[in-house]
Amino acid sequence: MTAAFIPPSQRDALTRWLDHLRALDGAAAHTITAYGADVARFLGFMADHRGPEGLRAIATLDATDLRAWMAWERGRGLQARSLARAMSAVKGFVAWVADREGVDATATLSARGPKFRRKLPRPLTVDGARDMIDTVGDQSQTGWIAARDMAVVTLLYGCGLRISEALGLTGAAHPLRDTLRIKGKGGKERLVPVLPAAHEAVARYVSLCPFNLASDAPLFRGARGGALNPRLIALVMEKARLQLGLPATATPHAMRHSFATHLLSAGGDLRAIQELLGHASLSTTQAYTAVDAARLMEVYDKSHPRA
């Protein structure tokens, strides 16, 4: 199915809905792209399943239509998690259409998506996180690049940043203040405290960097002076984890997971951690309570082995 099979009125409505998300809801660019693709497939399927219809018909679909669409998506290999996201996108679009067309979309909006088990975050231990930062600095023989890599990974762990957020910093961020103003997903801003270790790591990198770090240019640079590619940080962490014997889950994002889990283990407030991470929903942050409980049971089992 492609957007070419979507009736014009529905295609136009999809464009306007995406514009609405982009302008008013502040949705991230990749979210807009994913939702657009999800709804386009849904509309394409319905045009084939029911025949070309007007816009109002989309808001009055029944459970049978939705089950047929979900079965088609699963049949082409879409996993439950992705299908749940697609269902969320479809419901958002249908609710928007129903509001404008003045129709009752209860049947569609009350439909249940597939159940799936959320994967728990896979953080490193405290020692593992520290060893990762130190070992990352040993991967390059070029001093400023080694300092750069250590600075980035220190920000991921010490401030709980996403890799895109760390690499989105500009020269204006240096020297680091006691707090960083970070623009996260959906353009949402948050303030993140900066630990002395992060101050020191970034200051060392800046002192060694051979490029002019203008206030409006990227803070972290590649070997030729351009913006640092996040894949390079992933690669240097991959080399470090192989040396340390850490699992494949020891990725840049795992440093952010480690930040949250270690804060929670130290008695951090869940709401405060939600704010530091920039999660829109507390339920996302609550995943770390399950990780903490799992670690506690692991320690318990080792301390009290069954006979």
- For residue 218, pLDDT beyond 90: yes
Phi–psi pair at 210, nearest 5 degrees: -80, 0
d(CA 282, CA 209): 39
| Residue type (1 letter), 230 | P
Q: Which two tokens stand for residue 194?
A: 């900066």
pLDDT tens-digit readout, 129-151: 899 999 999 999 999 999 999 99
User: How many CB atoms within 10 Å of residue 2?
Assistant: 8
Phi–psi pair at 181, nearest 5 degrees: -95, 110
3-state SS assignment for residue 192 = strand
pLDDT tens-digit readout, 55-96: 888 888 888 888 899 899 988 888 877 888 888 889 889 899
Q: Residues 150-162: what's their mean pLDDT? A: 90
Q: Assess whether the region 3-109 and the region 126-303 belong to the same CATH fold.
A: no
Q: Which residue, chain included where needed, has tokens 């006691």?
A: 178
What are the residue boundaries of the structural domains of the chain, listed by start? 3-109, 126-303
- For residue 275, pLDDT beyond 90: no
Confidence band, pLDDT 50/70/90 cuts, at residue 160: confident
So which residues are the catalytic ones?
A: 162, 185, 253, 256, 279, 288
Cα 197 to chain center, whole Å? 25
Q: At what angle do helices 270-277 and 287-303 cross, to 10 degrees?
A: 120
User: How many CB atoms within 10 Å of residue 112?
Assistant: 10
Q: Which candidate, 223, 220, 178, places its Cα nearest to that of 199?
A: 178
Superfamily of segment(s) 126-303: Intergrase catalytic core (1.10.443.10)
Q: Which candidate, 107, 75, 71, 68, places its Cα nearest to that of 91?
A: 107
pLDDT tens-digit readout, 175-186: 998 888 888 776
- For residue 297, pLDDT beyond 60: no
d(CA 225, CA 113): 47
Task: Out of 31-35, 127-131, 301-305, pick the least confident.
Answer: 301-305
Task: Out of 222-226, 239-243, 248-252, 270-274, pick the least confident.
Answer: 270-274
Q: Residues 6-27: what's their mean pLDDT? A: 84
The pTM of this model reads 0.59
Q: Could you tell me which CATH class the domain 3-109 is placed in?
A: mainly alpha
The fraction of the chain above a pLDDT of 70, given in percent, is: 79
